[in-house]
Amino acid sequence: MGILDKCYNFTDAKEAIAAGIYPYFHALQTSQDTEVVMDGKRIIMIGSNNYMGLTSDPRVMQAAKDAIDKYGTGCSGSRFLNGTLVLHEELENELADYFHKDAALTFSTGFQTNLGTISSIVGYHDYIINDSENHASIIDASRLSFAKKVVKYGHNNMQDLERVLKKLPEESGKLIVTDGVFSMSGDIAPLPGIIELARKYGARVMVDDAHGVGMIGKSGRGTASYYDLEDEVDIIMTTFSKSLASLGGCIAAEQAVIDYVKHKSRPFIFSASIPPSNAAAALKALRIIRDEPERQKALINISNYMRAKLKEAAIPIIEGKTAIIPVYTYDINRTLMITKMLLEEGIYVNPVIPPAVRDGECMLRTSYTATHTQEQMDKAVDAFKRVFSRF
């Protein structure tokens, strides 16, 4: 078989397009907000990660524009060499303070943050222990590392985590990695149980809080703060593309850990640094989140309102406490059809199908923004009622 034959034989997308149920790559004609224009039609957006509603905030936009005026459009090099700006250092200092850690380090994307951190820290004689529903970037980072072995435990299952830890050599290095808020289900990791087992078996803990930051914890500081365990988590990771209304990512940890990663991480050393506009936007968004705690309250309130309305309408949801509300659709074709019909009703949601979930567990991932209104939620629920009534 030729190397490109798999490409020539790939027909899944063409078949879905021909059937009129292809759900991806709809182009927005406006900024990311609670309502957008997509394919020439005004749509209520309940499928973005703009949790704090800051992607179109004038203050964040102005900060990005000012950074371009001062620093230009790019850094033309990696942080390791010529690509470090005073702006990057200012952002890292405020992130470290925000997460109550010694230091922080920024990467060019969230995916790269996990890739660069895990692959550099975990060596030949070490073990990575992953929650079975960890993000794809953590899975790929584990593959890129030189770990002696990568093992999984059942999702949020502390008995299974202990079973796994018991089997590992007592003297070995062990890193437990978990999402804080899981991106598909909206579950919150049982961090107290993870920390307890980490202490018992001599493991370290890294929390990917891409979705938790802004959403939960004091001042939106995420899962570790939510449980009051910031001192117990060794590495806190987050992205800028969600609550922080930009692009990039970071880790916060002890100074020694940051110093090691910044000198050993190949994805960090060999990638260009975050453009000035992205760094400035993330910094401004971080300051707004700290200064305006009412945004976090608004996010939880609107999510709880929508959760109650969906339950009242007998829409099958997964229960939770976050701004991610999954709606069960079970079957692939049914999921794609419902996604298409909701879009025709003026509602955008994200279809989640295998391999992102197991067969028979397809869902619609809906997510909410601090600036959504109850009127928008009412319209969305009415659309759900009309579409689900056909099934």
**Of these residues, 88, 135, 211, 262, which one is catalytic?**
211
Question: Per-residue confidence at 272, pLDDT binned at 50, 70, 90?
Answer: very high
Q: What is the CATH number of the domain that holds 298?
A: 3.90.1150.10
Whether residue 37 is found in the same domain as residue 78: no
> CATH no. for residue 265?
3.40.640.10
- Which of 257, 291, 325 marks a domain boundary? 291
**Whether residues 332 and 240 fall in one domain:** no
Q: Under a CB-based contact definition with an 8 Å cutoff, are residues 99 and 236 in contact?
A: yes
Domain that holds residue 281: 58-291
Distance CA 368, CA 356 (A): 20
Question: For position 177, what pLDDT does the model report?
Answer: 98
Structural domain includes residue 7: no
pLDDT value for 74? 96
Total structural domains in the chain? Answer: 2
Q: Which of 101, 174, 242, 262 is catalytic?
A: 242
Domain boundary among 239, 257, 291: 291
Cβ–Cβ < 8 Å for 150, 142: yes
| Strands ordered across the beta sheet of 41-45 | 35-38, 41-45, 347-348
Whether 183 is a known active-site residue: answer yes
Please determine, for residue 1, whether its predicted confidence score (pLDDT) is greater than 90: no
Which pLDDT value is given to residue 355? Answer: 86
247 part of a folded domain: yes
Give the pLDDT score at 114: 98
In whole angstroms, give the CA distance from residue 287 to residue 300.
20
Whether the per-residue pLDDT at 391 is higher than 90: the answer is: no
Statement: residue 261 has pLDDT above 90: yes
Residue of 111 and 357 predicted with greater confidence: 111
Please indicate, yes or no, whether residues 141 and 223 belong to a single structural domain of this protein: yes
**Mean pLDDT across the chain:** 97
Asked whether residue 51 is domain-assigned, the answer is no
The reported pLDDT for the residue numbered 28 is 94
What Cα–Cα distance (Å) separates residue 147 from each residue in 123, 198, 263, 317? 5, 18, 19, 38
Catalytic residue of the set 48, 119, 145, 183? 183
Encode pLDDT of 301-340 as tens digits: 999 999 999 999 999 999 999 999 999 999 999 999 999 9
Q: Is 242 a catalytic residue?
A: yes
Q: Are residues 254 and 185 in the same domain?
A: yes
In a domain, 70, yes or no: yes
Q: Among the three residues 270, 291, 312, which one is the final residue of a domain in this structure?
A: 291
356 pLDDT higher than 90: no
Q: Are residues 225 and 303 in the same domain?
A: no
Q: Compute the C-alpha angle 111/116/117, nearest 5°.
A: 105
Q: How confident is the model at residue 358 (pLDDT cuts 50, 70, 90)?
A: confident
pTM metric for this prediction: 0.96
Cβ proximity of 50 and 242 under 8 Å: yes
Is there a catalytic annotation at residue 211? yes
Domain assignment present for residue 50? The answer is: no
